[in-house]
Amino acid sequence: VCHGEVYRGAAGSAGDVGHICVDLEGPRCHCGNVGCVEVMAAGPAITRMAMQAANDGESQVLAECLRRTGRIDATDVGHAGRAGDVAANGIIQKAAGLLGQMLASVVNFFNPSHIFIGGGITHVGPLFLAAVRQSVYQRSLALSTRHLEIQYTPLGAQAGVIGAGVLAMQEALRVRGVAP
């Protein structure tokens, strides 16, 4: 958001930061690129790393969760991390560090006053947010972070869906001449 308006860029794709590359050797993303932050640090990536840790015997907490429920999600990783599980905390640090790496580039380029993080990763909890903040502050220019606030959006996991709905509504109103 720039000056109260959603900045969409020349072709309408501005702001899709999930496809900024954070690992040239990373897995292929659905967009066709490799190592996008979305495929490396979003909820499904956290789940993938947690499943591997559970199956490889690196985390008894996550393995027990998988045995008990048949699945693991970002919330489970957050609970395991808060319980002191070393593997879960490693997953949180890795994903948050990569997200923070990408966000530091955004901070250095745009110098925003606020960054709101939404989606499924909000379920990981406060350890994830703290690690993102640490990564951003370590990699960003001091002047760019002096007044920067990084927090979870109150919209949580529904932020993307709500944002898409708002954009669609704004466009429909614009086409009808109701909105600027």
HEC sequence for the chain:
CECCECCCCCCCCCCCHHHCECCCCCCECCCCCECEHHHHHCHHHHHHHHHHHHHCCCCHHHHHHHHHHCCCCHHHHHHHHHCCCHHHHHHHHHHHHHHHHHHHHHHHHHCCCEEEECCHHHHHCHHHHHHHHHHHHHHCCHHHHCCCEEEECCCHHHHHHHHHHHHHHHHHHHHCCCCC
Report the alpha-carbon distance of residue 132 to residue 177 in Å, rounded.
41
**What's the CATH number where 77 sits?**
3.30.420.40
Domain contains 2: no
Binned at pLDDT 50, 70 and 90, residue 89 comes out as very high
**What per-residue confidence (pLDDT) applies to 6?**
73
Structure tokens at 45: 């990536």
Domain contains 47: yes
Query: Is pLDDT of 16 > 60?
Result: yes
Domain contains 180: no
Query: Is pLDDT of 44 > 70?
Result: yes
Domain contains 1: no
Domain contains 65: yes
**What per-residue confidence (pLDDT) applies to 3?**
77
Pick the more confident residue, 155 or 37. Answer: 37
Pick the more confident residue, 88 or 8. Answer: 88
Instruction: Please state whether beta strands 114-117 and 149-152 pair in parallel, antiparallel, or not at all (unpaired).
Output: parallel
What percentage of the chain reaches a pLDDT higher than 90?
Answer: 72
Summarize the confidence of residues 45-49 as an average pLDDT. Answer: 96
Q: How many domains does the chain have?
A: 1
Summarize the confidence of residues 82-101 as an average pLDDT. Answer: 98
Query: Is pLDDT of 161 > 90?
Result: no
**What per-residue confidence (pLDDT) applies to 2?**
75
Q: Does residue 79 sit in helix, strand or coil?
A: helix
**What per-residue confidence (pLDDT) applies to 180?**
57
Distance set, CA 69 to CA 51, 61, 62 (Å): 12, 12, 10
Cβ pair 141, 108 in contact under 8 A: yes
Note down the domain range covering 65.
Answer: 21-175
Query: Is pLDDT of 178 > 90?
Result: no
Query: Is pLDDT of 142 > 70?
Result: yes
Query: Is pLDDT of 135 > 90?
Result: yes
Pick the more confident residue, 17 or 135. Answer: 135
Domain contains 11: no
Residue 18's nearest CA partner among 85, 84, 117 is: 117
